[in-house]
Amino acid sequence: MKKILLLVGGGHAHVYLINKIIKEKQKFKTILVSSSQYQFYSGMASAYIENIYSDNDIIFDLKKLCKLGEIEFFEEKVIEI
């Protein structure tokens, strides 16, 4: 049976894991479920509030990132596990 890694949400820790998966050959199937295809980088929030950065500067596309790592992406909400 093939192992499956299920990631719920596109936060910092999961984006870090996705980047690791992209760089290394994965030996398991990975699925990311997030309520939005886009994630804001919270580390730039204060500069965004001060109008130093725009929306486009602090947002990244989870679906596009997942495609690079051959990770399945579902834009859904997880209700229960």
Domain count, the chain: 1
Domain span including residue 22: 4-75
Confirm whether 71 is domain-assigned: yes
- Residue 26: is it exposed, middle or buried by C-beta count within 10 angstroms (0-12/13-18/19+)? middle
Mean pLDDT of 68-81: 93
Mean pLDDT of 2-21: 92
Q: Please tell me the pTM assigned to this model.
A: 0.83
Type and span of the H or E element at 24 = none
Which CATH number do you get for residue 43? 3.50.50.60
Confirm whether 56 is domain-assigned: yes
Is the confidence at residue 25, as pLDDT, over 80?
Answer: no
pLDDT for 45 equals: 84
User: Cα 17–28–5 angle (5° rounding)?
Assistant: 55
What pLDDT, in 10s, does the model give residues 32-67? 999 999 998 888 888 889 999 998 888 989 999 999
